[in-house]
Copies of this chain bind each other. A is one copy, B any other.
Amino acid sequence: MFILVNLKAYDCNPVAVAAAAADVAEETGARIAVAPQAARISAVAATGVETWAQHVSPVEHGSHTGSTHAAAVERTGAVGTLLNHSENRQKLADIDASLNGAESEGLETVVCANNPDQIAAATALDPDAVAVEPPELIGGDESVATADPDIVTDAVEAAGSVDEGVDVFCGAGIATGEDVAAARDLGADGVLLASGVALADDPEAVLRDLVSPL
């Protein structure tokens, strides 16, 4: 199971969260990555944690002011990127172009989507993984794996019907090791977390709990 912690634009200390994640990953052997704001990638990567971007723009090198170019995040230490997060929905053509940009820089890719139909569509674009996050559960108190287990199994089936080789993650409301185990048992290959870790009083304790069933 891959644990991907999205720091969004939270008012948190990204380096402290990253250091905690690096420690827990090293001690437990679990795969944990942290996705900070683009401006913080170099500081987060310096902790040794696996570092991801939250987004890369659908552009090649050139005149693209305000973009987040795949090369810039890769050069500063990112090894993967989220795309099409529900807080940053992209045009279909732009997801395709962002994937091409990310892949040309060797970044691993996870395309998010709302529901199994969109998961199938995202899978057809051939990312490394897709992630289903029901928008109504994001930031909530109940885990997607218990609140809506069918959406996870349906997403796994939808992705598999298009391409068996694309991993499936799930996210929304995941906060404990029990939630991670439930997601795994539903067929997920990873989970997306955000506030549950980023805004925790003790991110390291949360992370230890999250990976405990693995």
Residues of A within 8 A of B (CB): 6, 8-11, 36-43, 53-55, 57, 59-69, 71-73, 75-76, 78, 82, 84-96, 113-115, 117-118, 120-126, 138-139, 158, 162, 194-195
Contacts and interface: CB of A to CB of B under 8 A. Distances in A.
Given A6-B65, A68-B39, A118 B138 contact: no
Contacts of A121: 92, 96, 121-122, 124-125
Nearest to A158: B124
Contact of A39 (B39, B89, B139, B158): B39
B66 A162 contact: no
Contacts of A82: 65-66
A63 B158 CA distance: 28
Given A72-B9, A120-B162, A124-B123, A66 B87 contact: yes
A120 B95 CA distance: 13
Nearest to A12: B61
B92 A61 contact: no
Contacts of A10: 61-63
A55 B9 CA distance: 15
11 contacts: A8-B65, A10-B61, A37-B72, A38-B39, A40-B72, A40-B76, A54-B67, A68-B68, A96-B117, A117-B124, A121-B122
Nearest to A116: B124
Contact of A90 (B55, B71, B92): B92
Contacts of A139: 63
A37 to B, nearest CB: 4
Contacts of A63: 8-10, 87, 138-139, 194-195
